[in-house]
Amino acid sequence: MGALGISIIITLLFLGAAGSAGDSFDLTDALADPETPQSNQQLGQCQNEARDIVFLMDGSSSMRASEFMQLKVFIALVMKSIPHNAQFALLQFSNRFEEHFDFRRFSRDRDADLLIGGIKQLGGGSHTASGIRKVVKELFTTQKGARPTAKKFLVIVTDGEKTGDPLEYADVVEEANRAGITRIAVGVGLGFTSTTAQRELHAMASHPPTEHVIVVRHFSGLRDSQAELKEKICTSHGAAAPRPTVVPQPLNTCSDPQVLQKLERVLSGLDQVNTKLNALAAKQGKCG
C-alpha cells in the first residue's frame, strides 16, 4: 500500500471521519489495496491446516465509533492473513448478541471486507461470559458449518471488563474446554492497565495465559498486534480433542461357554469345601 493510501486511512480513523460518516463509511476503503504486504510473506509461516475460528467482537457503548471501525479493520486483516483452509464466523456482543456470519456463509463468500464492512455497533453493556457460552453452544456446530476435524479457536476482542453479565467465566470456560476450543483474549484500550481487568482476560483465555492473552494499550496499536494474533493461532497445537465416553458392554454370561465352565468349576470346588467342613465337624463331635 502506498504512502498516500496509508495517509488516507490514518486521516479517516484518527480525525473521526469514520465515526462521523457512520454507516456510509465502507471498510473496503480502508482495505482497498488487495496486496497486503504481510499476507504473502507470512502465509508460508503458517501451516495450511483446517482451522475453525470464531471472533467474539465487543460492540459495547464504551467504545467510540472510530475505535469500533479500527476493530473491524483489525479482524478483517487477520482473516486475510490466515491460510485458505481456515473458516471464520463472527458474533458481536454487548448486553445483546448479533451473529453476523457463520462458517457456512463464510464458505460461500470469503470476502472479509464485505462480511465485516456492514457490521454496525450494538451499544450497551458487556456480557462477555454469556457471549462465550453462545459461541460454544450455537456456532461451533455442524449445522453452522463447523468441521469435526478442524482445530477450534475463539478470539475474544474486548475493550474492558464485563458488566451486568449474569454468568461468570468459571461457568463457561469449562464448557469451551470440553468442546476442545482454544481461546485467545485480546484486550484493547486503557481499561486493561488495571490488574483486575487483566485478571479477567486471563480468566477467559486458555492456559497458559502468557500464550493466549494479548494486551493492546491503544486502538491505534491493533494493526501492529495483527501479526502477534496470527502467530498465536498458527503455532497453537489446539486444545485436546474431547474424548468420547466409552460405555462398557455388559458381559453376556448366558452365552459364553468359557464363563459357564468357570462357574461350574467354582461351584464344584465349593461343594468339596462344604463336604470337608461337614466331615471335620462330625469328627469334632465324636471327640467331645
Domain that holds residue 85: 3-235
Which cell is 176 given?
A: 469451551
Same domain, 162 and 70: yes
Same domain, 194 and 280: no
Same domain, 208 and 89: yes
Same domain, 144 and 281: no
**φ and ψ at residue 213, rounded to 5 degrees:** -130, 135
Same domain, 186 and 73: yes
Does 240 reside within a domain? no
* Residue 135: DSSP 8-state: I
Does 244 reside within a domain? no
Does 225 reside within a domain? yes
Q: pLDDT tens per residue, the chain (288 residues)?
A: 554 454 444 444 444 444 444 444 456 555 554 444 444 444 447 888 999 999 999 999 999 999 999 999 999 999 999 988 999 999 999 999 999 999 999 999 999 999 999 999 999 999 999 999 999 999 999 999 999 999 999 999 999 999 999 999 999 999 999 999 999 999 999 989 899 999 999 999 999 999 999 999 999 999 899 999 999 999 987 765 554 444 445 545 455 667 667 767 766 777 776 777 677 766 766 655
Q: How many structural domains are present in the chain?
A: 2
Contacts within 8 Å (CB) and 24+ apart, 28-31:
28/113, 28/114, 28/117, 30/69, 30/73, 31/73, 31/76, 31/77, 31/80, 31/112, 31/113
Does 32 reside within a domain? yes
Does 172 reside within a domain? yes
Calpha distance 137→176 (Å, rounded)? 9
Does 241 reside within a domain? no
Same domain, 182 and 266: no
Does 43 reside within a domain? yes
Same domain, 228 and 258: no
pTM > 0.85: yes or no: no
Does 242 reside within a domain? no
CATH label of the domain that carries residue 210? 3.40.50.410
Same domain, 72 and 143: yes
